[in-house]
Amino acid sequence: MDSSEWPEPVVPVQSLSESGLTEIPARYVKPPSDRPGAVSFLDGPEQGLKIPVIDLGGLVGDSGERQATVQAISDACKEWGFFQVVNHGVSLDLAGRMKKVWMEFFHLPMEEKKAYANNPKTYEGYGSRLGVEKDAILDWTDYFFFYLHPDSQKNLDKWPLRPETLRGTAEEYGRELVKLGGVLMKVLSIGLGLDEGYLQKAFGGGDMEASMRVCLYPKCPQPELTLGLSPHSDPGGLTILLADDRVKGLQVRKGGAWVPVQPAPGAFIVNVGDQIQVISNSVYPSVEHRVIANSAEERLSLAFFYNPKGDLPIGPAPELVTPHHPPLYPTIKYREYRLHVRNWGLHGKLAVESLKAV
Ligand code: OGA
Ligand code: NI
């Protein structure tokens, strides 16, 4: 297939939502077993649990506080693959401005947004589909995807021109999140018992790659039949999510349950991606998550991806491989891995688990 084109014309979900239809098109209707209410174990013992909220202020405290903070993050990575951070050093004013400029973008006239329509080769720009499988059942979401780091990957001319403050705000946000990501890489390295610079080095040092997907989940007339985003683990390194704190929707898989995430005020939601699962030889697994659609309000979330440089081979850290813990994954370049994921679309943890067979 020609990877520079989508298999079918792309219909922005926002235009469907705004057309006032009362039933969603068949393309969005999930089979009964994939619908939000389908899981019979929804009221299992995991219900009511919450992902840990961790105060990063502890990292600049005395050595006891630092250790406790690293331990709390390490425990969260093992148990949940997810945690929230507060006191993270990123200006809340900047986070607020970032949400605002993107909400403004999504409320520009459709013609203006369509000028940024993306293709499956790079995904950069305005889009709705993930994956190029023809006749796939689609998710109830639109997004804008772009690269933030390094400068050589950043195509400013693909970023929206309006609102006028968007480019400057997104660049500032990118710089702050690259910093926060660097801090978390150290914490995770120490938590794994590795050199504090291990993960950063494995990701290519200052040449690591950062990108963002700004997700819009328009109002959906039949949220019980579809999903905002299908279950998936994130293919890259770390994801740092700025979620809508008014409109819920994100759920994290825990044992047999889907646990809703309620963002703490001013928090980022952090999760481990497939590359850290591979490097950690599954000590820190990437965990499936999904987004529920809703009929009352649209939802905006900003996912920042802290990823390895594309042409670096990524495999289990030799320090974590022992006779009792043989390597679970082969070594493969992130760019090649991402290509598989992009062609397949979102299918739970199939992509990373299929590596085992390589
Ligand atoms: C993602 C993602 C969650 C959300 O973009 O990978 O999981 O709340 N987003 O939008
Ligand atoms: Ni995700």
Q: pLDDT digit of tens for each residue in the chain (358 aa)? A: 456 788 888 899 999 999 999 999 999 999 999 999 886 555 566 667 789 999 999 999 999 999 999 999 999 999 999 999 999 999 999 999 999 999 999 999 999 999 999 988 888 999 998 877 888 899 999 999 999 999 999 999 899 999 999 999 999 999 999 999 999 999 999 999 999 999 999 999 999 999 999 999 999 999 999 999 999 999 999 999 999 888 889 999 998 888 999 999 999 999 999 999 999 999 999 999 999 999 999 999 999 999 999 999 999 999 999 999 999 999 999 999 888 777 767 777 777 877 776 5
Residue type, 65: E
Looking at ligand 1, which residue's alpha carbon is closest to its atom 8?
Answer: 250
Residues 6+ apart with CB under 8 A from 256: 39, 41, 44, 46
The token duo for 281 is 């030889």
Residue ranges lining ligand 1, Cβ < 6 Å: 213, 215, 229, 234, 241, 243, 250, 289, 291, 301, 303
Rounded to the nearest angstrom, the distance between the alpha carbon of 48 and the centre of ligand 1 is 21
Output the CA torsion sign for 227, 233, 235, 239. positive
Give the closest residue to 232 by CA, choosing from 215, 245, 218, 246.
215
Cα(301) to centroid of ligand 1, in Å? 7
Test site for ligand 1: of 144, 274, 301, most ligand atoms within 8 A of the Cβ: 301
What percent of the chain clears pLDDT 70, i.e. is strictly above it? Answer: 95
Which ligand 1 atom minimizes the distance to the CA of 217? 10
In a mutational test of the pocket of ligand 1, which residue from 82, 139, 229 has the highest number of ligand atoms less than 8 Å from its CB?
Answer: 229
Distance CA 280, CA 275 (A): 8
Degrees to nearest 5, angle at CA 169 with 165 and 171: 125
Q: How many angstroms separate the CA atoms of 200 and 185, rounded? A: 6
Which residue's CA is the nearest one to ligand 1's atom 10?
301
